[in-house]
Amino acid sequence: MKKIKWFLLIGITVSILFSCLIIATTAEMTAEEIILKRDSNEYFDTAQMEAEMIIVSGGRKITKTMLILSDKRNALIEFTNPVDRGTKFLKREDDLWMFFPDAEEIIKISGHMLNQGMMGSDFSYQDVMEADKLTDLYDFEIIKEEEFEGRPCYVLEGIAREGVKVSYYRRISWVDKERFIGLKEELYTKSGRILKETKANVIEEIEGRWVPTNSVMENKLRKDTYTEFTITQIKFNLEIPEETFSLQNLR
């Protein structure tokens, strides 16, 4: 009996120590480590997805569907809904090209248009096609820890690195402590004005990584408007031929 008590005591002590060690390890994570874990979870070498974008304004709704192919630096989007069918966008690093299906012409889009809403949505072309890792663009620090919709989160503030071209000067991210995925993000101008807020509504584990398959982007400058983005199908790390992200492939 004494032996059993002794083993129980050792067991409890080890468990407590082990739990403390885990808590200490996660608590000691730096902002950079958290964002790196988020980047490694959310960013991929290549991906192919089918997606749906629902633009809501007041009581009206418009749905657009698309196919997206992307790698670390480039993205190709083809719209498939009737109104926009065949319209394609190619983003190569900082350059954006558009294919108009009727006249089958390819036009280079001016840089200032990257910040416009993509096809009338609250997502800008830059939001959808941004391929850079957050750690390459922003310096982060942990500002607090709190729960967001029942999930414990790190709350991090990112300030754009000097000399780096970004759409939002400051961003505040709620990163899930267990799954290392952004659950909510607020995007600000340099003057401190909030521009947009994005929330991940549905998160699924696909091919071993957590993916926000339904998210909402709200333009905070406008009333009663948001865009819901749903990934209906996604495949990671496919072999995408080099010529996919080329002008010849837009034709």
Partner 1 sequence: MITKKYFNIAILFMIFFILGSITISAKVDIGGEINASLVVILDNQENLSAYPQGSLDLELYIPPFDNNQIKSAVYLYPNPSTGQLDFMFKKLYLKHKFDKLHLTLGRQPISWSFGSMLNPVDFTLGSVVMDEETGSKYQDAIEAYVPLNWNSSVSLIAAFPEGSQDIKWGLRGRTMIEGYDLTLNYVREPEIDFMGTIIPASQRIGFTAKGDLGPIGAYGALGYYFKDNDNGNLAYLIGGDYSYFFEAGNNIYFQLEYLSMKKDNLSSILGPFFAGNVTNNLNENIGLILGMVNYEIDEFSQINLMAISSLNDGSVIIIPGYRNQLSNNLSLNLSTAIYFGKEDTLFGSNVSEGAQQKPKGMIEIGLTYSF
Positions that interact with partner 1 (CB under 8 A): 55, 57-58, 60, 62-63, 81-83, 85, 92, 94-95, 102-105, 107-108, 110-113, 115-117, 120-122, 193, 195, 219, 221-222, 225, 242-243, 245-248, 251
Rounded-to-integer distance, Cα 26 and Cα 100, Å: 50
Rounded-to-integer distance, Cα 83 and Cα 104, Å: 16
> Residue 110 has what DSSP assignment?
P
Residue closer to partner 1 by CB (options 28, 243) is 243
Q: How far is the CB of 227 from partner 1 (least distance, A)?
A: 8
Residue closer to partner 1 by CB (options 105, 141) is 105
Q: How far is the CB of 121 from partner 1 (least distance, A)?
A: 7
Q: How far is the CB of 160 from partner 1 (least distance, A)?
A: 17
Q: Which residues contact 115 (CB under 8 A, 6 or more apart)?
A: 124, 125, 126, 167
Residue closer to partner 1 by CB (options 94, 146) is 94
Residue closer to partner 1 by CB (options 41, 219) is 219
Rounded-to-integer distance, Cα 245 and Cα 231, Å: 21
Q: How far is the CB of 200 from partner 1 (least distance, A)?
A: 22
Q: How far is the CB of 43 from partner 1 (least distance, A)?
A: 22
* Closest to 168 in 3D by CA, of 188, 184, 185: 188
Q: How far is the CB of 223 from partner 1 (least distance, A)?
A: 9
Provide DSSP, 168-202: -SEEEEEEETTT--EEEEEEE-TTS-EEEEEEEEE
What is the 3-state composition of the chain as percent helix, strand, coil, each rounded to the nearest 5? 25, 45, 25
Residue closer to partner 1 by CB (options 70, 225) is 225
Residue closer to partner 1 by CB (options 154, 226) is 226
- Other C-beta atoms lying within 10 Å of the C-beta of residue 105: 11
Rounded-to-integer distance, Cα 108 and Cα 249, Å: 15
